[in-house]
């Protein structure tokens, strides 16, 4: 006799939708119908609305007149400003880590990049999400929650920017540059670490273009992939 699946909670619905956005399964502009989401996850529209409000506070979702909630669509001006501030904040992250990162912190970074390497070339959406989470982890290891919060917001918004404007790319260089950043921090070589980070973020920004080529994907077909057992 199989065990009954655990019910979805508002937190899990929020986390699954957020992951679908960060993995670029739900593309910018995708309409997020409360009834369709509620039906797919087996929850009330009230729970769905709470999840959408939380995502809107993170600038991943926006409410549009006559359309309701949609995955946010950053403008090119916003994109340029986000990358500009991200360069500044991630340089500050490096400066702080050089002085205070622990052995355990370095090990956690190594483990994360090992995870990136395992899915490299096998699962593009997960690779995209893990690449962003590496930068969030760097910021969290500074011990400054405010700084980490700002970096997390910028990284997630960059995911939307790349979903809208970027050309196809390989994640190979990202994994290797992440390893190089870790090594420079381990060596306490701030000049090299800052140089690698600047080049790395410049490469990410350089993938943005005006092609606007976006694939369309049915909302429910996407949600079906993210509505597995919530206890999993």
Question: Mind listing the pLDDT tens digit for each residue in 27-60?
Answer: 899 999 999 999 999 899 999 999 999 999 999 9
Residue, of 75 and 221, whose pLDDT is higher: 75
Residues, the chain: 232
- Give 96-149 pLDDT, tens digit per residue: 999 899 999 999 999 999 999 998 878 777 888 899 999 999 999 999 999 999
pLDDT at 1: 41
Query: Which of 12-16, 144-148, 207-211 is most confident?
Result: 144-148
pLDDT at 127: 85
Query: Does residue 228 register a pLDDT over 60?
Result: yes
Token digits for 131? Answer: 């690449």
């Amino acid at each position: 006799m199989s065990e009954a699946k655990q019910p979805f909670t508002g937190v899990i619905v929020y986390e699954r939708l957020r992951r679908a956005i960060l993995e670029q399964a739900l593309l910018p502009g995708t309409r997020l119908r409360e009834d369709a989401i509620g039906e797919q996850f087996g929850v009330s529209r009230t729970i769905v609305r709470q999840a959408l409000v939380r995502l809107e506070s993170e600038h991943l979702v926006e409410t549009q007149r006559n359309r309701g909630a949609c995955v946010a669509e950053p403008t090119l001006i916003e994109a340029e400003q986000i990358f500009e501030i991200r360069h500044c904040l991630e340089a500050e992250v490096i400066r702080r880590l050089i002085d205070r990162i622990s052995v355990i912190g370095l090990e956690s970074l190594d483990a994360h990049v090992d995870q990136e390497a395992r899915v490299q070339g096998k699962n593009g959406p997960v690779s995209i999400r893990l690449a962003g989470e590496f930068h969030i982890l760097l910021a969290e290891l500074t011990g400054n929650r405010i700084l980490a919060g700002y970096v997390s917001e910028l990284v997630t918004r960059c995911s939307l920017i790349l979903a809208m404007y970027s050309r196809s790319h390989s994640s190979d260089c990202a994994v290797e540059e992440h390893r190089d950043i870790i090594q420079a921090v381990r060596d306490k070589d701030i000049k090299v670490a800052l140089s690698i980070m600047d080049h790395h973020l410049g490469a990410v920004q350089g993938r943005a273009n005006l092609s606007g080529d976006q694939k369309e994907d049915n909302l429910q077909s996407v949600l079906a992939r993210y509505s597995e057992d919530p206890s999993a």
